Amino acid sequence: MTESATTTSTTPDADAIDESLGARYGDAAPDTIESVNDVIALQLRHRSVRQFTSEDVSDDAVTAIIAAAQSASTSSNMQSWSVIEIRDPERKSAASELAGDQEFIRQAPVFLVFIADWARNRAIAKHHDQPDAGIDYLESTLVSFVDAGVAAQNAAIAAESLGLGITYVGSVRNNPIALSELLQLPAGAFPVAG
């Protein structure tokens, strides 16, 4: 049985698209783009959000967001990344302190930290009694970081499609050892972005 991908093409309001393009590019905005669907319109409306409401994010929404992240392209299908969900106020506060003491981390109902995780693949190789020599190559490290970033972007788009605000937090790399200890990461796992 052959699986085919079909897409439903919907055209968002042209005025809204023009407004999004104008906000992003100013006077250099292209004329209305004909090849815009709801996904592209959502991407054009993206804004970083650093003030959050106290409204909870459901477990179902987080599951959908992580499933979208796991559906991202990945080098050689290695899936050499992980994500840690933080809801506990004390852990969010500790993560915030390590990431530049940014209040919005404490304020967000959910804080996801994306991890470059070659420890996971090492454990899988060991479990199946397979060699893991390639894991120590620089390329494997770079792939883990890129894959974590691509997954994070899929998660961001998924969250925004659910009406949630997001922002990236690169400062999770400010104190990587302390944050790794807080998150109880194994050797070979490194925080990339929140």
Residues 86 and 182 in one domain: yes
Q: Report which of 21, 79, 65 is spatially closest to residue 46, judged by C-alpha positions.
A: 21
Query: What's the distance, CA 150 to chain centroid?
Result: 7
**CB contact at 8 A, 62 and 85:** yes
Instruction: Give the tens place of pLDDT for each residue, 45-87.
Output: 777 778 778 889 999 999 999 999 999 988 887 789 999 999 9
* CA dihedral sign of residues 62, 166, 51, 20: negative
Looking at the structure, do residues 103 and 40 belong to the same domain, yes or no?
no
> What is residue 156's three-state secondary structure?
helix
State how far the Cα of 170 lies from the Cα of 188, in Å rounded to an integer. 19
How many C-beta atoms surround the C-beta of residue 63 within 10 A? 11
Contact 109, 179 (CB under 8 A): no
Residue 70 covered by a domain: yes
Instruction: Give the predicted TM-score (pTM) of the model.
Output: 0.82
Domain count, the chain: 2
Residues 6+ apart with CB under 8 A from 29: 18, 21, 22
Q: Are residues 66 and 138 in the same domain?
A: yes
* pLDDT of 5 over the 50 cut: no
Residue 51, domain member (yes or no): no
Residue 85 is predicted with a pLDDT of 98
State whether 119 and 80 are in the same domain. yes
**106 and 166 fall within a common domain:** yes
Tell me, yes or no, whether 93 and 178 share the same domain.
yes
Per the structure, the complete domain to which residue 68 belongs is given by: 59-193
For 75, counting Cβ atoms within 10 Å of its Cβ (0-12 exposed, 13-18 middle, 19+ buried), the class is middle
The answer on 100 and 40 residing in a single domain is no
Residue 68 lies in a domain: yes
Same domain? For 108 and 180 the reply is yes
pLDDT digits (tens, 9 = 90+) for 7-17: 344 567 777 77
Same domain, 101 and 10: no
CATH number, domain of 149, equals 3.40.109.10
Q: pLDDT value at position 8? A: 43
As a whole number of angstroms, the distance between CA 40 and CA 63 comes to 23
The whole-number pLDDT of residue 59 equals 95
pLDDT score for 31: 72
Distances (CA, A) of 181 to 72, 93, 176, 184, 190: 27, 15, 8, 5, 10
52 part of a folded domain: no
Backbone angles phi, psi at 4, to 5 degrees: -120, 145
